A and B are shown apart, each in its own frame.
Chain A
Amino acid sequence: METYLWITSVWGVYLGIAVFVLGMGLRIYQWATTPKSPVRLGMFPKPATKSGRFFKMLKDTLIAPHSAKIEPKMWIFAMIFHVAALAAFVGHLRILGEYPILPELLGGEHAMNTFAAYAGSIAGTLMLVGVIFWIVRRTFGPYKNLSVPEDYLLLFLLFGVIIMGDHLRFVYGGFIHADTYQEWFRSLLAFKPMFPEKLLSGNVGWSLGTHMLFTDLFLIYFPFSKLVHTIGSFAANYVRSE
């Protein structure tokens, strides 16, 4: 198990992050160095001022009001997924270090762990709901016809990340808290990788390793997939109002 952990949760993480950062950098570099369309592609209505257009771009990207109007069901599930993903991401920051202030506000470390358990459970469940909706949606009709293997691969990886994340949360969440993961993750950041005893005993290592395996693959594939919409959507929605 220790070897599995070293591959997936040390070297895999390094590789994943490196490929992700370089890949995204390359993608942005490619976009930035390709000349802009000489033709104005904006559509109406559009704000007259630059700041107006900027805020419209933010609104169009983060809330997608037009999409909500035409496909409300899809919009709700997409919102559920993306907001939950954002929440999960913020939650994961705890493995870098404890939040300032929040534990005191909640009344101590124990309360903080309880809060994290609830918040994480909710976010993890919602993400799962969103991803299952998307997977099912791609099994029939025009959605299936439009899908290419890339779409299923991404959803599969994502499903793996989430299922294993939820597994860690629901099975081991009661007695392994952020401080344990913190020890491991900070050792990675310090380039002195190690695993705390708690992760090596019992079966939690297999679960963590698998969560990380999916995560590594997800990170590696991310920059070469349609998920570059995380950045591109802002640019493209700005063009809409230009």
Chain B
Amino acid sequence: MEKVQLETLTGVIDKKMNRQLKQYIDICARCAICKDACHQYVGTGDFKYLPARRAELIRQIYKRYFDKAGRFMPALYEAREPDDNLLDELYDSTYACTGCRRCMYYCPFSIDTAWILSVAKAILIAAGRGNEMLGQLADAAIFKGDNAAMFEGVMLSGFDDISEEVRAITGDPEHRVHVNKEGADVLYVALAGAHSIRPAAVIFEEAGENWTISMFEAANYGFFYGDTEKARLITKRYIDEAKRLGVKEIVVPECGHAYRVAEFFYEAWSKEPMPFKVTHILEKVDDYIKSGRITVDKGLIEGKVTYHDPCQLGRNGGKFEQPRDIVKAVTDNFVDLTPNRAEQWCCGGGGGIVAMEEFKDVRLKSGAKKVEQLKASGASVLACPCENCRLQIEELNEVHELGMEIWQVIDLVVAAMPLPGNQKGAEATE
């Protein structure tokens, strides 16, 4: 390896290293307790997907250049330089990782393998080996932020169309998607598609919420790509917007990593405290239902309903009960998956993997546990509040011919609301 490039790579490690990472690297016992926690290792049996192995590659580089004992006796630790072999394997095991942190849950030392892999991503990017697709998605998002005026026309006309659909569902001629509303309490940052805006708008309007829509989407491919600066810029788009509009609260949509980024990461990236609170839309909806601001009828949803905890919302976001309470409010026929909540199996669709064609094979194999769970539940409807999870589970549904209906939770809520056009709302998302 050339000296210059090597220095770049070790420089990245030096910059990224912090106390937690150092401890993770120093203490792993290589006991492999984490192996059966990882849906990718369990689904493929491929050694490179064993969580501790993924981290081991970073450990090998770290020991080689940063640890006295490792420099003194590299063979003892299999410490080595980041050559092509290492980087090839690192690319596969790093970008495949969905960041579910199920391995961390079971590790006796709670080692956050996904976090160690954030160093791996920085190394890969510095070596010119960052995932191209995720990089492009991130750059496109940043471009939209920098050239907001260029897209305003399309966005507004899109919102107009959605407003019309909302009125058709609620039957109230006043209802609409609010845009650029200064003094709104809530800024709803949706996803790019209409499906995440329409039902939310129905619910906000019916609840009489003082809300407005963001011109940007909540998804953050900069985070998946592994470039903190890009990730910060992407989130910054709607943080600045929220400041400009003076809202009290940012509500993020049914997208797991969007919630985690907004609630747990952005402050650390931007080094400034957030002047508003971050809420997941299902916290809002749960509150609307419990306080009677919207009405839902049981019995409008047919079939046995189950619920999948997206890793970023559940284990990594702490929202276990609100989504379940919502589902239980719209049906009496609810069954939980086993295991569930913090122990929920990752569906295999996180970390941006659904956008990376090259990982399709491991992605589908890694869904084996989810398929097993879904079959065992006997449910015909799955409520799932994360876009990436839904994309993956819909594909699993097809491949394994499960014959299930996969719903956003807010679609389920709208379908259970006694509204003149709610059938339409349900159908439109299928």
Contact = CB atoms under 8 A, between A and B. Distances in A.
| Chain A in direct contact with chain B (Cβ < 8 angstroms) | yes
B270 to A, nearest CB: 10
Interface string A110-151: 000000000000000000000000000000001101111111
Contacts of A151: 30
A236 B37 CA distance: 18
Contacts of A229: 26-29, 109
A1 interface: no
A132 B108 CA distance: 20
Interface string B84-118: 00000000000000000100111111111001000
B39 to A, nearest CB: 13
Contact of B33 (A39, A67, A145): A67
Interface string A24-52: 00010011101111111101111000000
Interface residues of A, number: 47
B244 to A, nearest CB: 26
Contact of A146 (B50, B315, B317): B50
A44 B315 contact: yes
Given A69-B106, A146-B32, A233-B109, A27 B316 contact: no
Interface string B33-63: 1011100000000010010110010000000
A96 interface: no
A66 B105 contact: yes
B76 A36 contact: no
Contacts of A200: none
Contacts, number: 145
Interface of A: 27, 30-32, 34-41, 43-46, 60-61, 64, 66-67, 69-71, 74, 78, 142-143, 145-151, 153, 224, 226, 228-229, 232-233, 235-237, 239-240
A214 to B, nearest CB: 17
Given A45-B342, A146-B32, 15 more contacts: A32-B19, A37-B21, A38-B269, A41-B20, A44-B318, A64-B108, A66-B107, A67-B108, A69-B343, A147-B30, A149-B75, A233-B27, A233-B108, A236-B110, A236-B111
B53 A31 contact: no
Main secondary structure of the interface of B (DSSP, over half): helix
Nearest 7 interchain pairs by C-beta: A240-B110, A44-B318, A224-B69, A232-B27, A38-B268, A229-B27, A64-B108
A70 B33 contact: yes
A44 B341 CA distance: 9
Contacts of A145: 47, 50, 53
A67 B19 contact: no
B110 A45 contact: no
A39 B77 contact: no
B146 to A, nearest CB: 25
Interface of B: 17-24, 26-33, 35-37, 47, 50, 52-53, 56, 68-69, 75-78, 101, 104-112, 115, 264-265, 268-269, 271, 314-318, 320, 341-343
Contacts of A232: 23, 26-27, 109
B17 A228 contact: no
15 contacts: A30-B22, A37-B19, A40-B268, A43-B104, A43-B342, A45-B341, A66-B108, A67-B33, A69-B343, A71-B106, A78-B108, A148-B78, A149-B78, A226-B28, A233-B109
